[in-house]
Amino acid sequence: MSLLKRPNGTEDILPSVSRDWQKLEEFLRNTAGAFGFQEIRIPTFEQTELFSRGVGETTDVVQKEMYTVTAKESSFTLRPEGTAGTIRAMLQNGLLNEALPQRVYYILSCFRHERPQAGRLREFHQFGVEMAGSALPSADAEVISLAKQILDQIGLKHIELHINSIGCPNCRKNYHKALKEYFSGSRDCLCGTCQERLEKNPMRLLDCKVESCKEIAKDAPLILDYLCDDCKTHFEKLKSNLDALGIAYTVDPRIVRGLDYYTKTVFEFVTTEIGAQGTVCGGGRYDGLIEQLGGQATPALGFGMGLERLLLVLKSQGISLSEAKSCDVYFVPMGEQAELKAMQLTAQLRRDGISAQTDVMGRSLRAQMKYADKINARFTVVIGDNELEQGEAVLKNMKSGEKISIKLDDKFVESFSDIEIADRLADEIA
Ligand code: ATP
Ligand code: MG
């Protein structure tokens, strides 16, 4: 394999799109902040057992998709998702002994060995949130409304919220029995993995991606018919909370989600616009996970949002997050003295956060103007002997062609800022 080929299912985020990523991340951070969520950063890999126990032995993620290495006899796995590591970090650092609920968010890469296709990568990125400490349906509504606000405010259209309740271990006893009965007749037609699941965790059969298994599962009993009173009430209250918030939803009794830790509420935000990979956000409640990982029983919930998928849908809907970053001012120096002056002015502007450039290629005047055009410079300033002598130059607005004379003195940054702001305002009004 060529050295210059990146591994299948990975992507390079090039300068032409990294600005979209920055904008998206900034927006996610601000919105999460408005909801009281604070950032947590966790390691890229964890002990393998954290995921096999946390995510679940019978899930596709653990059975088929993990990147695991053995180093000095210990087994480590690249995180396939963010929840297990985040909960591990919260427990290890005692965050759950502080004021509850704890609200954290993260933006991180995840690794899953899947068949790469549009919206399905082997290294992908998630924005995720976790909220620990509340068992109430109002917490579910809050977490869902955060995801909803993000998708709405970013301008996405045609996104649907699907919700379901997959109950608690209590109501699942009867449900598992019903599933076993339903599937045992067609046991021999199930894929190998599902035959095993039928014994260990029959609900996982409903999440199998194999066509023949999907066909068999079509008329399987629905969990909603098996909920205990507590889970039923919780689900009803969640629905009235969402109604009160004006958030539309569809109850989809077939959602089970691909991770074992979920209890009660599960939800997905789905679009039909990027084919089969239409789930941009998935989440739910996981009241048993913290105890399962060795902490004190604490109810919690969260979601993960796939950022590549989000950007794909944005693109397919023609929504752009950022204008191409242009250069605010480009200096065109003619001669050595002018080069020094241009260097100084560039440095001053940059210190004020204004994006400025000058020639570092030794180009002619014409070639420099061409370059300024290429990088989309908003203003240019030619500095030659005359300009140096008079301490004044012409600031040219490259879009309108307007020319304003500007002093090359200590006040340059200030004068330039005024002109630049006025130009921006005029642009906005127009
Ligand atoms: P799917 O059913 O599409 O495989 P999932 O149930 O495995 O999704 P989660 O584990 O809930 O997904 O992850 C949350 C979100 O992360 C998904 O909704 C999706 O947007 C994104 N995601 C999951 N797997 C991938 C992947 N391989 N490549 C890109 N994004 C992904
Ligand atoms: Mg998956």
Which atom of ligand 1 is found nearest the CA of 303?
14
**Residues 5-22, mean pLDDT to the nearest whole number:** 95
Residue nearest to atom 5 of ligand 1 (CA): 258
Q: What is the mean pLDDT of the chain?
A: 94
State in Å: Cα 51 to ligand 1 middle: 16
Three-state DSSP string of the chain: CCCCCCCCCCCCCCHHHHHHHHHHHHHHHHHHHHCCCEECCCCCEEEHHHHHHHCCCCCHHHHHCCCEEEECCEEEEECCCCHHHHHHHHHHCCHHHCCCCEEEEEEEEEECCCCCECCECCEEEEEEEEEECCCCHHHHHHHHHHHHHHHHHCCCCCCEEEEEECCCHHHHHHHHHHHHHHHHCCHHHCCHHHHHHHHHCHHHHHHCCCHHHHHHHCCCCCHHHHCCHHHHHHHHHHHHHHHHCCCCCEECCCCCCCCCCCEEEEEEEECCCCCCCCEEEEEEECCCHHHHCCCCCCCEEEEEEEHHHHHHHHHHCCCCCCCCCCCCEEEEECCHHHHHHHHHHHHHHHHCCCCEEECCCCCCHHHHHHHHHHCCCCEEEEECHHHHHHCEEEEEECCCCCEEEEECCCCHHHHHHHHHHHHHHHHHHC
State in Å: Cα 396 to ligand 1 middle: 49
pLDDT at 1 over 80: no
**Residues 388-405, mean pLDDT to the nearest whole number:** 96
Of the pLDDT bands very low, low, confident and very high (cuts 50, 70, 90), residue 6 is very high
Tokens 């450039």: give the residue. 357
- The pLDDT value recorded for residue 392 is 97
**Residues 32-45, mean pLDDT to the nearest whole number:** 97
Give dist(CA 184, CA 379) in Å, integer.
Answer: 73
- The pLDDT value recorded for residue 326 is 76
State in Å: Cα 136 to ligand 2 middle: 28
Give dist(CA 254, CA 207) in Å, integer.
Answer: 9
- The pLDDT value recorded for residue 261 is 86
Q: What is the pTM of this model?
A: 0.88
Distances (CA, A) of 15 to 5, 129, 361, 401: 19, 28, 21, 28
Smallest-distance ligand from the CA of 256 = 1
pLDDT tens per residue across span 173-212: 899 999 999 998 899 999 998 998 898 889 989 988 889 9
Residue 367 Cα to chain centre, angstroms:
41
State in Å: Cα 57 to ligand 1 middle: 18
Of the pLDDT bands very low, low, confident and very high (cuts 50, 70, 90), residue 258 is confident
- The pLDDT value recorded for residue 305 is 98
Which atom of ligand 1 is found nearest the CA of 268?
18
State in Å: Cα 298 to ligand 1 middle: 25
Closest of 163, 143, 168, 149 to residue 301, by C-alpha = 143
pLDDT tens per residue across span 260-281: 788 999 999 999 776 667 899 9
With a 6 A CB cut-off, is 114 part of the ligand 1 pocket? Answer: yes
- The pLDDT value recorded for residue 259 is 77
Structural contact between residues 366 and 334, judged by C-beta atoms closer than 8 angstroms: no
pLDDT tens per residue across span 293-314: 999 999 999 999 999 999 999 9
**Residues 379-399, mean pLDDT to the nearest whole number:** 96
Token couple for 119: 């919206």
pLDDT at 386 over 70: yes
- The pLDDT value recorded for residue 324 is 64
Which atom of ligand 1 is found nearest the CA of 310?
20
Closest of 222, 240, 242, 208 to residue 171, by C-alpha = 222
Distances (CA, A) of 141 to 133, 165, 410: 14, 13, 55
- The pLDDT value recorded for residue 274 is 66
With a 6 A CB cut-off, is 81 part of the ligand 1 pocket? Answer: yes
Residue nearest to atom 19 of ligand 1 (CA): 306
